[in-house]
Structure 1
Amino acid sequence: MKNSVKLLGASVLSMAVALPAFAGEITVYTAYEEDEIASYVAAAEKAIPDLKINVLRLSTGTLAARLIAEAGNPQADMLWGQAITATMDPQILDQLEPYEAEGADALDERYRDPENRWFAPTGYMGTFCVNTARLEQKGLPMPASWKDLEDPAFKGEIIMANPTSSGTGYLHVIALLHELGEEEGWAQLERVDANIAQYTSSGSKPCKSVRSGEYTVGISLAITAAQSVEQGYPVKAVFPEEGSGYELEAAGLMKASDNKEDVKRFMDWLLTDEAIALYEDYKILIAAPGTTPAQSAIDAGVPEDVQSILADIDFPKSAEQQDEVKTTWKEKFGR
């Protein structure tokens, strides 16, 4: 007998695996990428063979809007892999029911809600993606901080994700504002803006433009830098001394679910050794204690202790500030 994992709506993905008759079925909303979903769900259904997991994959913003729109008649049993900044919206957070998944008590407090409404098995983080060949060709110093990017020698050599349209851009900006304070944080961004050649709508594009030799520094995603090194590009990931911005990918049980026990089985699986091993294929930031980045990430410049370089971000405050920060950004840097 064959089972298919369904990506409903905007994105459809299917696979067939031999399973016994289903005892349970759940619908999960997620913002994870499709290749991740396929890997995680196939492994989870193999580990829980009487559970069928139907998945709707949407972008972070679209997913948040759908959850809010469906608040009066929720269709999902579970939220999974959604940016915590979006999840902190009370219109979404209030739809989640407390449940302490197996293994969640071992997570650092930054990776779980004190009321157990969510926990984050994974996340993603920002970095300066530096083309070492172009850096040497231009005679530029290796930057170690946002302050280093003020150097007039970098004028026209930096490309950055725009925080008004890119979650990656936003995590960089909010990290700087929370670490330096708003006054100095904005002042620092203004000083670096003088050297920015372009702001992009994509979080990965700055690193991809840098690795192709168009620019020297891309304020971008760490995973893209690691993938670029693995593919042979002359790239190094530099994590700013002020602290690296990051986002968490939350999982939570929907209050309105009619399949709560089945959801709990899947949530318990998310922190198993098997799941954690799979995360290492796609993630640099993994919440489980004792995990280290893949060798390709370390080769790119990611430290073994990723936690040590993370900025001190107040996520509830970050969620509240989004509209204000984006408005201020447009006023200061809109081009």
Structure 2
Amino acid sequence: MKTTSKTLTIAAAAAIAATGVFAETELTVYTAFEAEDLKRYADTFNEAHPDIKINWVRDSTGIVTAKLLAEKDNPQADVVWGLAATSLLLLKSEDMLEPYAPKGVEALDPKFVDSDNPPYWVGQDAWAGAICYNTVEAEKNGLTPPTSWKDLHDPMYKGHIIMPNPNSSGTGFLDVSSWLQMFGEEAGWDYMDGLHENIARYTHSGSKPCKLAASGEIPIGISFAFRGAKSKAAGAPLEVIVPSEGVGWDMEAGGIIAGTANLEAAQTLLDFAVSTKAMEMYNVGYAIIGIPSLAKPVEHFPDGLKDALIENDFEWAANNRAAILAEWQSRYDGKSDPK
């Protein structure tokens, strides 16, 4: 009996359904999400979209941003998901992003959406600077806890503080740009000159100073609140301190790289990135998410963090990023960890 093409199509569909084998699209996704979250994020996405495989390229914010800019004329990424909004603004200014309004974008806090319509990027959650303070190691060294950024100038802290290098770390950059905004440019650099006197070293990761404080290698790590809360939940003897002057912050954000050959799959991923399911996923670790009504308290997050967030001028930070980083490097890079 003659087999029609329609019969073959039905048979093929039945075979796929029976075996669970799907035609798979692969997306190269550049990110600065915490490494331990990548599998959980991909697995949650694949529950609804098993036909799209995420191939992560992960590093610290500054390194991912530099990599994207270096690849401008020959993009290797399809999507950026989980990179600082200040970096996305920089990519937008270089015409590297594809505008797209993901499904459900209207539910986001307007601060989490690019101002253009359609937007070039959307935010997912916010992370904020904080001080991770090891109470056991501090007591051994005769230290008392700081309550403000300016307290960190006290000579008793000399050699007992680690912070991230802003050229490598988004957390380091939000600290530096926030000090310049809070104190003013001249006073901000004066502040960092004084802080530098007490810094033991600069790391190339935003979470590492808190991890080192949690392990007891250093009493004080300038890091971010999520990492401090997570380390404290794991049993580390940490206080997560919100300095009285306020704290810098940034959003983890996402966008589609212009020219991707996988546009439909990239749009599907961005749709998911702002969905209710994704917001609940981010809220496991982050107290501030793109849809505030969905946010639930996160264990060990410091009180008053949301009220301490400064009025961050993301456009200013993005536009002045190169100059800020060059100035920081010329002043302080001598204490940075080897790359």
State whether TM-score is above 0.5.
yes
Report % sequence identity. 35
- Kept in 2: contact 1:64–1:92 (CA 8 A): no
TM-score, normalization by structure 2: 0.80
Give the whole-Å Cα distance in 2 for the aligned partners of 1:224 and 1:210.
Answer: 11
1:48-59 paired onto structure 2 within 5 Å: 48-49=49-50, 51-59=51-59
By how many angstroms is 1:139 displaced? 4.7
CA contact (8 A) 2:121 2:255 kept: yes
| Paired AA for residue 147 in structure 1 | K
Native 8 Å contact 1:68 1:92 kept in 2: no
Q: 1:274 aligns with which of 271, 274, 277?
A: 277
- Largest Rg, 1 or 2: 2
Inter-partner Cα distance in structure 2 for 1:76 and 1:138: 47
- Where 2:211 maps in the other structure, the secondary structure is helix
Q: 1:62 to 1:242 in 2, by over 3 A?
A: same
1:156 aligns to what? 159
Q: Does 1:133 align with 2:136?
A: yes
User: CA 1:78–1:108 in 2, change beyond 3 Å: closer, same or farther?
Assistant: same
Following superposition, the deviation at residue 114 of structure 1 comes to 0.7
Shift of 1:101: 1.8
Aligned residues: 311
Partner AA of 2:80 in structure 1: L
What is the CA deviation profile of residues 124-154 of structure 1, one whole-angstrom value per residue up to 9, with x for unaligned ones? Answer: 3321111123334445432121112222332
- Secondary structure, counterpart of 1:247 in structure 2: strand
Query: Of the candidates 169, 173, 191, which is equivalent to residue 172 of structure 2?
Result: 169
Aligned to 1:86: 87
Work out the CA distance in 1 between the residues paired with 2:276 and 2:161: 40
Q: What amino acid maps onto 1:266 in structure 2?
A: L
How many angstroms apart in 1 are the aligned matches of 2:111 and 2:240? 24
Can you list the C-alpha shifts for 1:157-196, whole angstroms capped at 9, x where unaligned? 3222222343322221111111221112112222223322
Q: Which moved more, 1:172-181 or 1:68-77?
A: 68-77
Q: 1:185 to 1:70 in 2, by over 3 A?
A: closer
Change (3 A) 1:218 1:67: closer
Structure having the higher helix fraction is 2
- For structure 2, the 5+ residue unaligned runs are 1-18, 335-339
Is contact 2:62–2:170 with CA below 8 Å preserved after alignment? no
Q: How does 1:112-131 map to 2 (within 5 A)?
A: 112-115=113-116, 116-131=119-134
Post-superposition offset of 1:202: 3.1
Task: Give the 3 Å change call, closer, same or farther, for CA 138–259 of structure 1 in structure 2.
Answer: closer
What residue is the counterpart of 2:208 in the other structure?
205
Greater shift, 69-78 or 313-322, is seen at 69-78
Counterpart for residue 194 of structure 1: 197
* Cross-structure match for 1:6: none
Question: Could you tell me how far 1:244 is from its partner in structure 2?
Answer: 1.6
CA contact (8 A) 2:85 2:251 kept: yes
Quote the offset at 1:57 in angstroms: 1.2
Q: Which residue of 1 aligns with 2:317?
A: 318
Q: Is the 8 A contact 1:176 1:242 kept in 2?
A: no
Distance 1:134 1:200 in 2: 20
User: Which letter maps to 2:57?
Assistant: R
The answer (yes or no) to whether the contact 2:143–2:156 under 8 Å persists in 1 is yes
The residue that corresponds to 1:292 in the other structure is 296
Matching of residue 106 in structure 1 with residue 110 in structure 2: no
| Contact 1:96 1:117 survives alignment (8 Å) | yes
SS in 2 for 1:55: strand
Quote how far apart the aligned CAs of 1:113 are. Answer: 0.5
**Aligned equivalent of 1:333:** 332
Paired with 1:270 and 1:19, the residues of 2 have a C-alpha distance of: 25
Cα RMSD (Å): 2.7
